[in-house]
Structure 1
Amino acid sequence: MLMALICGFALSQAFRTVAAILAPPLQRELGLSPQQLGLFAGAFHLAFGGLQLFMGMGIDVWGPRRTVLAVFPLTVAGALIAATADGFTQLLVAQFVIGVGCAPAFLACTVFISRRFAPERFAAVNGAALGIGSVGLLVTGTPLAWVVDQASWRAGFLVLAVLAAAAWLAILLLVNESKEPAADRAAPANAVAALRGYGELFALRHTWGIVVLASFTYASFLTLRGLWLGPLLVERHGFGLVQTGHVVLLVSVVGMFGPPLFGRLDPGDRLRRRWIIAGTLVVAAMYLAMAFSRHAVFDVVVSTVMSLVAGYIVLQYADVRSAYPARMTGRAMAVFTMALFLGVALMQWVTGVAAGAAPALGIETYQAVLATTGGLLALAAIAFRLLPAPAVSSAA
């Protein structure tokens, strides 16, 4: 059942990273500016992140299976809208619709894991789910680049629509929520009670540190892998589209091992937050190093290593799991996931603005993008350290 749910998550990974490969052909065919590329990539995450609270309520009330089955068909509809787009506005609508369809995908996996596995196994199993789900990133590497190179970017969206339909069918046939313990299916009786529960969550002071950091960690990785890596390789280093696809594939393959690795290395509640801060600062330093690089090999190597190190983000899920009582886990994960993806939308928009402003300031486009990303990430780590921690972590 978990593998079936991960199929949906894998497709959401594919949809959220298409811009890395599709950006160059979209710029050529539709004349998109850097700011428009940022909005194009960010629209998915705006919809995805903005609906997490409601998806959390849906999962609490109706369960992961019914919530995903009800919403996921929108990914197919959105992909078909994108494949027939004749302008920027239609692309934005398509990305937004796809984001809505994918909104419950990983939250359903996370809640399923939190309910079906012992707390001490949560980080390892969740890390494995993240790693397996990253197969979706492989699709938007060389395979998607080859499809676009042989046919068009429209064909890429059509292929993803077919895969999304297959994932929906797998969840329909294989996931059986009747096997879920009745105690775990206890849920708020109505939307008002559920929203009141979110108010209780935000009343806890340590929620804000979790939300602030979550808004920038995964966002930094997706801003590079899901938007700027392709244009950077094409424009800064003169790579072809298929060559770019090979690098994106390499980054994605290496990145698959990060979450399972850090899930198994989880140091526990006492040291976990120190590891999270250290990982965030290391990744920020990598972005700043790439910002001032002009060497293709250096950028490829650092991007690849960064994709592995970024696996430390799985420790944030374990931090959320340990920061709240079991009755609040679903809502806490929904808020955390909302912060992750609204952060992606924000960072992709901000870096799009930085890219657009760079030439007028005499700064190389990707220097502005990477320096902005690294700087925001470093500030988020500092904020996480200074804001209140949950009692279990502060006691350490």
Structure 2
Amino acid sequence: MTSSSAAPSSAPPGPAARGPWVVLMALCLGFTLSQAFRTVAAMMAPPLQAGLGLSPAELGVFAATFHFAFGAMQVFMGIGMDLLGVRRTVLLAFPLAVMGSVLCAMAPSFAWLVAGQALIGVGCAPAFLACTVFIARAFPSARFAAVSGAVMGLSGFLQLVLMPRTLGIALLASITYASFIALRGLWLGPMLTQQYGLSLVQSGNVALVVSLTSMVGPLLFGRVSAVGLGRRRWIMGFTLGMAALFLLLALLHSVVATVVIAIAIGFGCGYIVLQYADVRASYPDALTGRALAVFTMAMFLGVAVMQWVTGLAASAATAHGIDPYKVVNLTVTALLLVGTAGFAWLPRAVEER
């Protein structure tokens, strides 16, 4: 008997084998678009203030609306992916982002601008979740399994939220990433152009460097091998370090110092990967997915709240003749301290693994 039929084939993978990778690349492009929408407020702030006469508070609402819509829709997008599958959910949602983009581009007033941002947020809501769900399962589950899984998932979310440990974890999650996005995605551009006279191109270059630096941080912070209470101490220490950087940003009035500190904040926010590790270790295996979903939702809703609150702070500062950017950075500093205190003092988990 010949063994030719049993010999392994050296032919390259066919279309069926490459299919999941093609789909994943398409989903990643959608997530990239979502990232662009998330940070566009920083670059658009000066033109919007000039063209529509937006106050700092309105600018904060404009930036926050995307994140409110994005974060609030996460659970619904997850249910949609369980019931309809990743493909249909994305195809139903993403056209809303296109409509919102057109509406923002043609918006004659602040109200229309906010409506467009809300549509963009809803349209981009499945972007990140679609990637993770598709990686977890290349093909949708059967309808019965999906429906029963969705029901069990909702009950699991309730169980998760009622755990005392969740409050401290979610509180810090809602502030750490939000502080970085508030700087890079909203206030960095206006601060550099209005306070220090940089052009939009120059401020955009600074934002690019900050963004690139933020990609390096997770690679290095991910090598921190502390576990349990040791890891939580690292998380609190790094958060206090971020608070110190924002305090320096408020007190130092130098374009060089501002750029250097912004880059340092971009790098420093990489410690957020330790929070993911803390979440994973704080819940049993059966709740890991839902715990990470709650953590992610807290992060994005925190971004919305942070941008809204800092917008109110900047508007109040302007009304009283105080430097709005100083007040914004002091507000972020205070919120980071509150998050650290909550993480330290609220009930914490005994690690499950």
Q: TM-score range by the shorter chain?
A: 0.7 to 0.9
Deviations 1:157-200 (A, max 9, x none): xxxxxxxxxxxxxxxxxxxx23x8x79x9555276544322211
> Structure 2: which amino acid aligns with 1:11?
L
Match of 2:5 in 1: none
Q: Which moved more, 1:306-315 or 1:254-263?
A: 254-263
**For the residues of structure 1 that align with 2:82 and 2:348, how far apart are their CA atoms?**
26
Match of 1:240 in 2: 199
Match of 1:292 in 2: 251
SS at match of 2:33: helix
Match of 2:127 in 1: 105
How many angstroms does 1:64 deviate by? 4.1
**For the residues of structure 2 that align with 1:316 and 1:63, how far apart are their CA atoms?**
29
Deviations 1:121-159 (A, max 9, x none): xxxxxxxxxxxxxxxxxxxxxxxxxxxxxxxxxxxxxxx
Match of 1:31 in 2: 53
Aligned to 1:56, which of 69, 78, 94? 78
1:159-308 mapped onto 2 (5 Å cutoff): 177-178=138-139, 187-189=146-148, 193-269=152-228, 271-308=230-267
How many angstroms does 1:342 deviate by? 1.3
Whether 1:17 aligns to 2:23 is: no
RMSD: 2.4
How many angstroms does 1:329 deviate by? 2.9
How many angstroms does 1:261 deviate by? 2.6
SS at match of 1:282: helix
Q: Which moved more, 1:319-328 or 1:185-194?
A: 185-194
Bigger radius of gyration: 2
Percentage of matched positions with identical amino acids: 55
**For the residues of structure 2 that align with 1:350 and 1:97, how far apart are their CA atoms?**
21
> Structure 1: which amino acid aligns with 2:270?
G
**For the residues of structure 2 that align with 1:261 and 1:208, how far apart are their CA atoms?**
28
**For the residues of structure 1 that align with 2:97 and 2:73, how far apart are their CA atoms?**
15
**Paired residues of 1:355 and 1:366 also in contact (CA < 8 A):** yes
Whether 1:373 aligns to 2:342 is: no
> Structure 2: which amino acid aligns with 1:389?
R
> Structure 1: which amino acid aligns with 2:32?
A
**For the residues of structure 2 that align with 1:69 and 1:320, how far apart are their CA atoms?**
31
List gaps (5 residues or longer) in structure 1.
117-176
How many angstroms does 1:27 deviate by? 0.9
Q: How many residues align?
A: 330
Match of 2:114 in 1: 92
**Paired residues of 1:61 and 1:188 also in contact (CA < 8 A):** yes
List gaps (5 residues or longer) in structure 2.
1-20
Deviations 1:240-298 (A, max 9, x none): 11111111111111112122332344534563322221111111110011001110000
**For the residues of structure 2 that align with 1:272 and 1:110, how far apart are their CA atoms?**
25
Match of 2:27 in 1: 5
CA pair 307-47 structure 1, distance change in 2 beyond 3 A: same
**For the residues of structure 2 that align with 1:271 and 1:70, how far apart are their CA atoms?**
44
**For the residues of structure 1 that align with 2:114 and 2:57, how far apart are their CA atoms?**
13
Whether 1:334 aligns to 2:293 is: yes
Deviations 1:38-95 (A, max 9, x none): 0000000110111122223334444544433332232222111111211111110110
**Paired residues of 2:82 and 2:150 also in contact (CA < 8 A):** no
> Structure 1: which amino acid aligns with 2:61?
L
**Paired residues of 2:283 and 2:351 also in contact (CA < 8 A):** no
**For the residues of structure 2 that align with 1:344 and 1:254, how far apart are their CA atoms?**
20
**Paired residues of 2:82 and 2:149 also in contact (CA < 8 A):** no
**For the residues of structure 2 that align with 1:61 and 1:205, how far apart are their CA atoms?**
31
**For the residues of structure 2 that align with 1:59 and 1:189, how far apart are their CA atoms?**
13
> Structure 2: which amino acid aligns with 1:91?
L
Aligned to 1:345, which of 294, 304, 317? 304
How many angstroms does 1:112 deviate by? 5.0
Aligned to 1:310, which of 269, 274, 287? 269
**For the residues of structure 1 that align with 2:286 and 2:80, how far apart are their CA atoms?**
15
Match of 2:11 in 1: none
**For the residues of structure 2 that align with 1:388 and 1:66, how far apart are their CA atoms?**
40
> Structure 1: which amino acid aligns with 2:222?
G
Whether 1:319 aligns to 2:341 is: no
CA pair 64-377 structure 1, distance change in 2 beyond 3 A: farther
> Structure 2: which amino acid aligns with 1:95?
Q
How many angstroms does 1:24 deviate by? 0.4
**For the residues of structure 2 that align with 1:77 and 1:391, how far apart are their CA atoms?**
47
Match of 1:138 in 2: none
**For the residues of structure 2 that align with 1:212 and 1:350, how far apart are their CA atoms?**
15
Q: Which moved more, 1:10-19 or 1:78-87?
A: 78-87
SS at match of 2:245: helix
**For the residues of structure 2 that align with 1:188 and 1:363, how far apart are their CA atoms?**
54
